[in-house]
Amino acid sequence: MSRVGKQILEIPQKTTVDLNNGVLTVKGPKGELSRTFKSVVAINIADNTVSFVPQKNDIATRALWGTYASHVSNMIKGVNEGYVVKLILDGIGYKADVVGTSLNMSLGFSHPVNVTIPSGITVASEKGSITISGIDKEAVNLFASQIRAMKKPEPYKGKGFRYEKEVIKRKQGKKSA
């Protein structure tokens, strides 16, 4: 039994949830999200609540039960509140600037690194930090992880991209004799 799948989700005010031919659409104050779901888990929408009922009792269906509940919960939260991921850039000479629809970074390589910002995502760059926001949790976290992967924090001085509350395990380094 899925603990997440058994919970009934409340639909906030100013939010609508519709299911047509396996496509679930959530509209809210910040925007609209759509996602296709298989019919192995029934999604019931009634009286400002969303509930989930598995159609079979096999391993694959039980696995999707809680997953579908999490996806719908993330969609509802996204169109109402949105998601924000903050990256901190440490290192001398490392910088990032937003120019139009691209993120231009200087990360200590022999060339500048330019990344196109996906649609539906907003990126703001302050001194030493990048704030990524949007209504789709997967898209925001995917873009943040792609940016972080370009220059992961190293364990000696901690230079590179790290998440806001991430703690980097430091190594001691060489001792002088």
- What are the structure tokens assigned to 1, written together? 């039994």
For the whole model, what pTM was predicted?
A: 0.90
Average of per-residue pLDDT across 5-31: 93
Smallest Cα–Cα separation from 84: which of 12, 163, 156? Answer: 163
pLDDT tens-digit readout, 33-44 = 999 999 999 999
Smallest Cα–Cα separation from 138: which of 33, 47, 42, 14? Answer: 33
pLDDT tens-digit readout, 71-104 = 999 999 999 999 999 999 998 989 999 999 999 9
Average of per-residue pLDDT across 34-55: 93
- What are the structure tokens assigned to 90, written together? 């440490």
Q: How many CB atoms lie within 10 A of CB 43?
A: 18
User: What pLDDT is attached to residue 176?
Assistant: 76
Structural domains in the chain, CATH included, are 3-80 (3.90.930.12), 83-163 (3.90.930.12)
Average of per-residue pLDDT across 149-162: 91
Average of per-residue pLDDT across 155-167: 90
pLDDT tens-digit readout, 108-139 = 899 999 999 999 999 999 988 999 999 999 99
Average of per-residue pLDDT across 149-154: 92
User: What pLDDT is attached to residue 177?
Assistant: 64
User: What pLDDT is attached to residue 6?
Assistant: 87
Rounded Cα gap, residues 92 and 142, in angstroms: 26
